[in-house]
Structure 1
């Protein structure tokens, strides 16, 4: 195959997966550089380090199939254990040699005359950008340079662009203000024995409350919207009531000695994860059962505080927002140390928070904003393709893709978990592996059949978007709730879910539809149509090992 240069952006699960494709020879004659803005690999699991941070997908199924770890400490892994796993994968599979940390991409432009991507890279001062406020510039020691590549792969994902809540007078607060997605290392003194105000009851908020409750003197929790607080995914194999539990040393050793038994266990969990798709279909029997179960479980965990149940129960379907697993959260709400404050936060004050209804606290030492991320699909930097298209601008206005991987007017551009990807259920690591294989198929075709680039045909992304929205209209995701699937809005269009099950998505990726793409040949002359057949020999003939 002809040589290609690849730039991948981000060294989380997706970036490591692409590096492995080169390292193992799935991509031959390919050079890859993975640029990572932070000082280490890990992506989301490097950046999110707040108290209680954990994955709601079982650990045995939240890992690469090619790097199974039988030594997970618990059924649902904590952030530090997932990060440790990712670091060990990078080391053991010799992937760090492809990664350049403390390098941030600030611009990418397709150069049509030369049919390459020109990528602007800023080498930062080594400071972890995640713990700085959005918009803070790099230090004076940063340097900028330009690299070129044939293939550009965006591996940055969703959960990397946090935002302060849109609340006035943030600078007026006299204590310490923290954000769940930018958690510094030195926070013990800000929680222990202090009065804490926690804003938000989304995925991070429900994990933080029980994690800080023992240390804090008092906690005000500000809840704006009702939500379904559920058990974690695949709770069938979890502890009592869907709780987490630690694996015994005997169990871990047994799996290490018998990989086939460990694989069977993971398959059982995977089957459980995939069998729950029916609950996302509006008015289905599974949806009805999920609602009844959710009400019963929330009532049981709130005990005598049924007044909280009436306020917490949503009027929208289970799954309209991504379910909010929260082991210990509902029980924490009933603690005498916790005061629930309902309604929208209007302003910060010197000593606390004022809500729109007029409630005001005046004894707060620390505020924790568990207010999430900018979940638009738009890239965090300009990406300029054909016909003057800027993908950042296009997706800010109307996010659409083809199978969540390729984009309008973006030649030789691929991405992970873009618009209309299966974010609503199951392990994203499995999806990342499937997308990696899909991208690899495209790159192999470009290399072996003498194409300089491929790009979705002009009508394809819009047509796919129309199909997706029409299909998704029958799901609970389309019902009236404010959700991450609509970038935090209630009435907006869905932009981040596959129109079908994740198994359906995987099957689509297995057999690429080449006919949905324009393919630009390296050979303009008809006389050279079959130049891609080269010298009539194969690489394998020169390598007896193959």
Structure 2
């Protein structure tokens, strides 16, 4: 078997899963380019106080590397990062990683069927196969607020937490109330002098059934691995059931009742409860899990601000009602630019066409992996592969298996390029968009949708369906083209 050169961009869950799959298939000419200084992806970058996962740990793990030593059901950021470091070490992947390398441009050469990458340092790297594992949640989204440069205090995004800024006794503004914010707000509220939380829209929040995995339980997992497998399977089946109920529109009333009960139990003030009650259908935006978010907002030193922000001024935040909220520090909890796939890379495929041109009406890819016109480019966590319920790690492993099948096809045809048939991709995208148009995610504005309202992030079905569709490569869906110039 010939060995095509393979470059993976990103060393998070996706990049590691892909590297493991390729190694098991016998591919050795694999390089991972990671812009950070360690593996981990979002779990390396997001070090904000309280950072944790909202998928149970036994399922939020690679099937190749079950972990009997998770300290709790919902693992926290340091434990997930340690896990990923251990995975990289166990599989000898670190030797394949170049840290501190950010890819700025990728251009496909139709004569030689190769990609040329240009890094932020100006280095040029040639590769036969390019696999993007940058994910959907790697580019922080910071709103364009007037006067930001005039503010005299510290400003940072939760994904780029400035640990040098001591919040003790400070007046802190948190802008945004998404999944990250509801974790770090309870963690910082007790130490601040005053915390002002600026909410654009309330979130549906339910209790997080977290628990510690004691030593006895961990010992059982180690002694009888099947028990850990059973816990993983049970969790997987639970999420599959939720996904099915979501598709059947059976979860709305139940979630609404559950969340409102949670709110009533934790917030006594009727005015605050009213401000924290969403005005859109449950699950339309990401459902949030927390038992300490509402109590944090009810603290005497915390205020919830629902008036629109007009801008930042030297002394604080000005809202539409004319009020100035004096603050010393501004923290953005405004999430990520999830629909800007592969950003900030500039990608050019056949005939020099850019990916941004191909996706002008919204990102799309066959199985979330391949886009017509971009041969030998494969994506992990690409368009329409995010989940409203379940573990993205399961999806990533499905993609890694499928991509490895495509690479194996290329290995059997040295110098060739493979890309999805445009008609196949169009039919696939049209079919899933029809499903998504009927889904709950089309009912409101959220990061699941792009500026034109198209849901470009989420998979509309169960993960078992995706696993089945990606299990094998149907070569009839792709086009294989030989190189136009001999390899030297």
TMscore range, shorter length: over 0.9
Alpha-carbon distance in structure 1 between the residues aligned to 2:142 and 2:471: 40
Counterpart contact for 1:172–1:348, Cα < 8 Å: yes
In 1, the alpha carbon distance for the partners of 2:392 and 2:474 equals 23
SS of the equivalent of 1:214 reads helix
- From 281, 285, 298, the equivalent of 2:247 is 281
Provide structure 1 residue ranges, at least 5 long, that are not aligned to the other structure.
123-142, 233-241, 525-546
Deviates more, 1:408-417 or 1:287-296: 287-296
Q: Which residue of 1 aligns with 2:259?
A: 294
Match of 1:216 among 184, 187, 192: 192
Q: What corresponds to 1:345 in structure 2?
A: 309
Tell me whether 1:504 sits opposite 2:465 in the alignment. Answer: yes
C-alpha contact 1:58 1:75 (8 A) present in aligned 2: yes
Match of 2:126 in 1: 148
Aligned partners of 1:450, 1:167: CA distance in 2, in Å? Answer: 51
Partner of 2:40: 42
Deviation at 1:31, TM superposition (A): 0.5
TM-score by length of structure 2 reads: 0.95
Confirm or deny: 8 A CA contact 2:50 2:76 kept in the other structure.
yes
Deviation at 1:390, TM superposition (A): 0.6
| 1:324-362 superposed Cα distances (whole Å, 9 cap, x missing partner) | 223310111111111111122111111210111222212
Deviation, structure 1 residue 396: 5.0
| Counterpart-to-counterpart distance in 1, 2:439 and 2:422 | 28
Equivalent residue number for residue 478 of structure 2: 517
Matched, 1:371 2:334: yes
Q: CA–CA distance in 2 between the matches of 1:112 and 1:278?
A: 43
Find the counterpart in structure 1 of residue 274 from structure 2.
Answer: 310
> Structure 2 CA distance, aligned partners of 1:115 and 1:291?
53
Question: 1:397 and 1:104 mapped to 2: Cα distance?
Answer: 27
Residues 66-85 of structure 1: pairs in structure 2 closer than 5 A = 66-85=64-83
Distance in 2 (alpha carbons) for counterparts of 1:403 and 1:19: 19
Q: Write out aligned runs for 1:478-489 (5 A).
A: 478-479=442-443, 481-487=444-450
Q: Name the CA distance, whole Å, in 2 between partners of 1:68 and 1:420.
A: 27
Equivalent pair of 1:206/1:329 in contact (CA under 8 Å): yes
Query: 1:403–1:75: structure 2 CA closer, same or farther, 3 Å change rule?
Result: same
Higher RCO (CA-CA < 8 Å; seq separation 6+) = 2
Deviation per residue, 1:67-91 (Å, 9 max, x gap): 1111111111111111111111111
Bigger mean CA deviation after superposition, 246-255 or 404-413: 246-255
Name the counterpart of 2:155: 177
Pair 1:269 & 2:235 matched: yes
Q: Secondary structure at the match of 2:141?
A: coil
Q: 1:162 to 1:29 in 2, by over 3 A?
A: closer
Pairwise CA distance, 1:273: 1.6
1:451 is displaced (CA, Å) by 7.0
Higher Rg of the two aligned structures:
1
Q: 1:18 to 1:181 in 2, by over 3 A?
A: same
* Compared CA separation, residues 462 and 343, structure 1 to 2 (3 A): farther
Equivalent positions of 1:104-503 (< 5 A) are 104-122=102-120, 143-187=121-165, 189=166, 191-232=167-208, 242=209, 244-281=210-247, 284-302=249-267, 304-362=268-326, 364-379=327-342, 380-449=344-413, 452-479=416-443, 481-487=444-450, 492-503=453-464
The counterpart of 1:88, out of the listed 83, 86, 89, is: 86
**When the two structures are aligned, how many residues end up with a matched partner?**
484
Distance 1:160 1:343 in 2: 29
Contact 1:485–1:496, Cα closer than 8 Å, also in 2: yes
TM-score by length of 1: 0.85
Instruction: Specify whether residues 482 and 103 from structure 1 end up closer, same or farther in structure 2 by C-alpha distance, changes over 3 A only.
Output: same
What is the CA–CA distance in structure 1 between the aligned matches of 2:277 and 2:204, rounded to whole Å? 7
Residue matched to 1:139: none
Q: Shift of the alpha carbon at 1:207?
A: 0.8
- RMSD of aligned residue pairs (Cα, Å): 1.9
Aligned to 1:125: none
Structure 2: distance between partners of 1:395 and 1:231:
38
Q: Hey, what's the Cα distance between the residues in 1 that align with 2:53 and 2:5?
A: 34
| Runs ≥4 residues deviating over 3 A | 521-524
Post-superposition offset of 1:521: 4.2
Deviation at 1:47, TM superposition (A): 0.7
Report deviation, 1:44. Answer: 0.6
Measure how far apart 1:34 and its partner are.
0.2
Residue 95 of structure 2 is matched in structure 1 by 97
Give the distance between the partners of 1:5 and 1:159, measured in 2 at CA.
Answer: 27
Q: Distance in 1 between matches of 2:200 and 2:59?
A: 33
Distance 1:320 1:273 in 2: 17
**Structure 2 segments unaligned to the other structure (5+ residues):** none
Match of 1:23 in 2: 23
Alpha-carbon distance in 2 for matches of 1:159, 1:398: 17
Residue aligning to 2:53: 55
Cα deviation digits, residues 506-543 of structure 1 (max 9, x gap): 1111133321211124699xxxxxxxxxxxxxxxxxxx
**Would the aligned equivalents of 2:285 and 2:441 in 1 still touch at CA under 8 Å?**
yes
Cα distance between partner residues in 2 of 1:429 and 1:394: 27
